[in-house]
Amino acid sequence: MGDFFQFTLTGLTIGSIYAIVGLGFVTIYSVTKVINLAQGEFVMLGGLTMYSLSTSGVPYWLAFFITIGIVMVIGWLMEWVLIRKAKGASPISLIILTIGAAIFIRGIASMIWGKDQVRVAPFTENNPISIAGATTTPQGIWVVAIMLFVVLFLYLLIDKTLIGKAFQACSVNPLAARLMGISPNRMSSLSFTLSAALGALAGLAIAPILFPSYDMGAMLGIKGFSAAILGGLGSAPGAVLGGMLIGLFEAFGAGYISSGMKDAIAFSIILLLLLIRPSGILGEKNVGKGGL
């Protein structure tokens, strides 16, 4: 029983990260219909930028916000330089475009930061705590808290503000949105910037646990993409659910079967679930409409 609780806790922690990355996918997809496979690179950039800033003497929390700012600028640039130029390309081309961007960013990162893993200090003092026989660290709790914060923030932004209404309008019908005086281009820009911020936040939260390196983004991006697909592409609650499930599959797979096989186990279950529900768990309502 202690094992079970421990694996659940680990699964929820890592699942929260996948959920945030998945939300990044959904944010961009719902407005632009682009799957941004460079989403994981935002996470990597978040972790490594924080490392550079904090080791060069910038106060921790200042570095935290500067990091988010820098990654947001990169996200904005990516939309402005790449996605806007490729408007109207087929989904296959768009996937390839963002894969290209991901490889490019990863290559640059390996030239800047090298190939070693780096250590980033946790948010608060990091003595392990034990809850009912399972141990976790305060950073693990922070990760879950940040995920909850992101969900709440997105909910308020999308459902309760005028910008959110414009966002939804663009995802439902860009042409009609334009006739109402909303600029889809600006919304597309906003979605990339916002999504980059989510990625950076995920990177900052996970950095003290995972020890970031230049190549951490690839797998995180793939898992986040899987979370978004598993939940039903375009559905924000789906992405969170998908992320949590993948985290749990991995933790239980690693715990009960074999740690080397955890990715294979998680992806096999995802494939099986997709066979049963081809449009994802919460997909039906939202696919095509792309509502957040």
Partner 1 sequence: MKLRGVQQTTWMSVLALAALIVIFPLVVTQSFYLTQATFAGIYAIAAIGLGLLMGYAGQISLGQAAFYGVGAYTTAVLTTTLGWSPWISLLFALLIPGLLAFIMGYTMARLSGYYLAMATLAFGIIVHSLLVEWRGVTKGASGFFGIPQINLFGYTFTQGISYYYLVWFFVVMVVIISLNIVHSRVGRALRSIHDSEIASSAMGVNTGKYKMQIFILSAMFAGLAGWLFAHMSYSISPTSFTFDASIIFLAMVVLGGSGSVWGALIGTLLIQTLGIIVHALGEQVSFITSDFEHVLYGLILMLVVIFVPRGLFPAAADGVRTISLKIRSRKVKKEKQSRLRGA
3-state secondary structure (DSSP) of residue 80: helix
The span from the CA of 145 to the CA of 143, in Å, is: 5
For residue 97, give Cα distances in angstroms to 78, 108, 159: 11, 17, 31
Closer of 1 and 111 to partner 1 (Cβ)? 111
The C-alpha torsion from 171 through 67 and 50 to 149, rounded to 10°, is: -50
> Which residues sit at the interface with partner 1, rule CB under 8 A?
35, 82, 85-86, 89, 91-97, 99-108, 110-111, 218, 222, 225-226, 229, 233, 258, 260-261, 263-264, 267-268, 270-271, 274-275, 278-280
| Locus of tokens 């789906």 | 238
- State how far the Cα of 172 lies from the Cα of 2, in Å rounded to an integer: 47
Work out how close the CB of 91 gets to partner 1 at its nearest, in angstroms, rounded to a whole number: 6
Closest to partner 1 by CB, 145 vs 222, is: 222
3-state secondary structure of 130: strand
Could you tell me the smallest distance in angstroms from the CB atom of residue 58 to partner 1?
27
Please say which residue, 169 or 229, places its beta carbon nearer to partner 1.
Answer: 229
Quote the least distance from Cβ 74 to partner 1, whole Å.
14
- Both tokens of 280, joined, read 């994802």
Residue 165 or 262: the one with the smaller Cβ distance to partner 1 is 262
Shortest gap between Cβ of 258 and partner 1 (angstroms)? 7
**Interatomic CA distance for residues 71 and 42, integer angstroms:** 7
Q: How far is the CB of 272 from partner 1 (least distance, A)?
A: 9
| Of 1 and 276, CB closest to partner 1 | 276
